[in-house]
Amino acid sequence: MIVELSHEFLRKEILKVGAHPASLEIFERKAQIIPLKIFNISSPTANVIKQEMLSLGGDVVVHKNVVDCKIEKSDVILLGTKKHYELFIKKLENNKYFEIPLVLQELKEYLLKQKPEKIVSPWGRVLNLSRTLVMGIINVTPDSFYSGSRKMQINEVLKTVEDMVINGVDIIDIGGQSTRPGAEPVSIDEEMSRVIPAIESIRKSYPDVVISVDTYYSKVAELAVDRGADMINDISAFRFDNDLVKIVAKYKVPYILMHMKGTPKDMQKNPYYDDVVREIMEFFEERINYAKENGVDPEKIIVDPGIGFGKRYEDNLEIMARLKEFKSLRKPILIGASRKSFIGKALSDLPPEERLEGTLGITALCVLNDVDIVRVHDVKENKRVIKVLEEIKCIRSSSL
């Protein structure tokens, strides 16, 4: 009998064989191929990389015309174990040709950098990122795409928060304007008149709950933080209000940076991608660098691929299928897919009111892929799915 072992249980199975505990780290470094892709490398550099990795027993994928330099640049896929990469880095340190120093620097940064274990708000409230957190959606709007999320009266807001807190919500997200496809923006004053009273009331009644404000207006964000909000959820990634980055830097507030093509009004007018994951990753890299250059603490940035924001049906599915690749950024990941149209389409065009089960399937996928935050309308149901899967994940982690 032959069994292919789950990587998560390799350590446990090695000990069952009777190996010396001191050998565990050695075996684990050799046990799993880690494919790493590097973009736009010159052919001479790619040839050196391939030669050096092959000499260590690893491998490298390059364009077929790299070997004779008939192509100027190629993407490169490295195939190696942790041990291979350790030895590969040592080899590259002695090679100063072409783009090798740049590749070496990026490789070191990637392999050494870790996602933050927690994020602390300006008020001292803590988001522990050791499990998947639930962000509950409350829209103080008359026109959000899912009617169940609309809570225009303060008593409705507080009753919804009460239910969410009872059911274990980790973050309450308050939004004052709809960002559904085709939505017109509301004014700063209108958004402020909606979200600030809601935040004040929630903070007074629930002093310990973490509050997020869903806004791209700097004035709304600043007043919201002043009145007790802990984080800013910005669909624009600092692109709609130039002063927002100053507010985030000034208050050292956790910040959700989301990818979107266009604006809510026009984002679904024939969006197109040649490579959706690569383009989103490049967007994140540029926006994170922009934030850092403007004084934002990079350890407080959370990334959101923006499900449904300037994406086709197939784009949303590919993002969900490749969630683990976004972990390469070493940033906490948020997924907001609750009751969205791609779920309805997958379920034979069901309306938002009938997309709960599909949403729970997406949440399960997120948990299994170690997504840090899921933004949902239905806290109780999603929390229960997460609780079961986290128990299973505990079994996995206890074997490591």
How high is the pLDDT of residue 151? 84
Residues whose CB is less than 8 angstroms from the CB of residue 362 and which lie 6 or more positions away in sequence, other chains included: 320, 335, 337, 338, 343, 374
How high is the pLDDT of residue 398? 65
How high is the pLDDT of residue 349? 96
- Burial of 194 from C-beta contacts in 10 A (0-12 / 13-18 / 19+): buried
How high is the pLDDT of residue 147? 82
What does residue 145 show for φ and ψ, rounded to 5 degrees? -65, -25
How high is the pLDDT of residue 155? 92
Q: Please tell me the distance from the alpha carbon of residue 272 to that of residue 135, in angstroms, as a whole number.
A: 29
- Superfamily name with CATH number, domain 118-398: Dihydropteroate synthase-like (3.20.20.20)
CATH top-level class of 32-112: alpha beta
82 part of the active site? no
pLDDT digits (tens, 9 = 90+) for 127-185: 999 999 999 999 999 888 888 888 888 999 999 999 999 999 999 999 999 888 888 88
Task: Take residue 289 and report the two structure tokens written for it.
Answer: 């660098």
Task: Judge whether 396 and 9 are in contact, CB under 8 Å.
Answer: yes
Write down the catalytic residue from 375, 383, 393, 396.
Answer: 375
Nearest to 254 by CA among 305, 302, 303: 302
Count CB-CB contacts under 10 A for residue 31: 15
- DSSP string for 327-345: GGG-S-BEE--TT-HHHHH
Write down the catalytic residue from 11, 340, 355, 383.
Answer: 340
Domain ranges of the chain: 32-112, 118-398
- Spans of the chain, pLDDT less than 70: 398-400
How high is the pLDDT of residue 4? 73
150 part of the active site? no
